[in-house]
């Protein structure tokens, strides 16, 4: 009987250990990683979405997005008397000109979200890094701001041949 209990405890500890390893791997895969900026990337707040005659456009307010050491450097340059030694929360936004631009969206544009209203309940509005959703769903999520207003987040837009081909929501802590 003692052997069975030890064996059961050993199995339980093995399962617990494997679960911890699997959880750790999942957590590592689900960590924040900055969006790679390329010459084709525009970071902006999306202020409106229009669909007319089968053509979709975004009204965007381009910004400068800084994070990490670059955010600290720019923050300290812009806010030398803040009393802080770096950008709060590790990011800094500069929006010197709030003029809107209109960008056409490719109908096949990829959309990657970090956080949005998935179910109508604030409890379910959790962060899931780079969750791909169809463009039509993004439009619906953007318009449904009862639980979480995704227009409050910046987006990294990749523009190729004059059209937005990729939309990546930037998470803000």
- Do 168 and 159 contact (CB within 8 A), yes or no? no
pLDDT digits (tens, 9 = 90+) for 22-48: 333 333 456 888 898 899 999 999 999
| Count of beta carbons in the 10 Å neighbourhood of residue 73 | 14
Considering the domain architecture, whether residues 27 and 54 belong to the same structural domain is answered as no
Q: Is residue 81 domain-resident? A: no
Give the single-character DSSP code of 116. Answer: -
Considering the domain architecture, whether residues 158 and 102 belong to the same structural domain is answered as yes
Q: pTM of this prediction?
A: 0.80
Considering the domain architecture, whether residues 128 and 159 belong to the same structural domain is answered as yes
Considering the domain architecture, whether residues 103 and 129 belong to the same structural domain is answered as yes
Considering the domain architecture, whether residues 52 and 18 belong to the same structural domain is answered as no
Can you tell me the distance from the alpha carbon of 128 to that of 132, in angstroms, rounded to the nearest whole number? 10
Can you tell me the distance from the alpha carbon of 115 to that of 126, in angstroms, rounded to the nearest whole number? 6
Q: What domain range is 117 assigned to?
A: 41-62+98-169
Considering the domain architecture, whether residues 23 and 105 belong to the same structural domain is answered as no
Q: Is residue 3 domain-resident? A: yes
133: enclosing H helix or E strand:
strand 131-133
Considering the domain architecture, whether residues 104 and 135 belong to the same structural domain is answered as yes
Q: Is residue 162 domain-resident? A: yes
Considering the domain architecture, whether residues 24 and 107 belong to the same structural domain is answered as no
pLDDT digits (tens, 9 = 90+) for 71-128: 999 999 999 999 999 999 999 999 999 999 999 999 999 999 999 998 888 888 889 9
Taking 80 as the threshold, does the pLDDT of residue 6 lie above it?
Answer: no
Q: What is the number of structural domains in the chain? A: 2
Q: Is residue 5 domain-resident? A: yes
Residue in 104, 111, 117 with CA at minimum distance from that of residue 60: 104
Q: Is residue 130 domain-resident? A: yes
Taking 60 as the threshold, does the pLDDT of residue 16 lie above it?
Answer: no
Mean pLDDT of the chain: 85
Considering the domain architecture, whether residues 104 and 24 belong to the same structural domain is answered as no
């Amino acid at each position: 009987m003692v052997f069975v209990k030890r064996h059961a405890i050993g199995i339980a500890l093995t399962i617990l250990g494997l679960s911890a390893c699997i959880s750790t791997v999942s957590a590592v895969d689900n960590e924040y990683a900055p969006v790679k900026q390329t010459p084709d990337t525009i970071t902006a707040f999306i202020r409106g979405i229009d669909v007319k005659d089968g053509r979709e456009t975004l009204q965007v307010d381009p910004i400068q997005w800084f994070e990490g050491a670059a955010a600290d450097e720019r923050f300290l340059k812009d806010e030398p008397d803040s009393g802080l030694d770096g950008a709060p929360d590790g990011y800094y936004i500069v929006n010197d000109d709030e003029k809107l631009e209109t960008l056409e969206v490719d109908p096949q544009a990829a959309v990657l979200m970090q956080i949005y209203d998935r179910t109508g309940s604030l409890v379910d509005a959790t962060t899931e890094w780079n969750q791909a959703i169809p463009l039509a769903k993004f439009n619906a999520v953007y318009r449904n701001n009862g639980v979480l207003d995704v227009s409050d987040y910046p987006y990294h837009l990749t523009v190729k041949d004059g059209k937005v081909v990729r939309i990546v929501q930037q998470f803000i802590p």
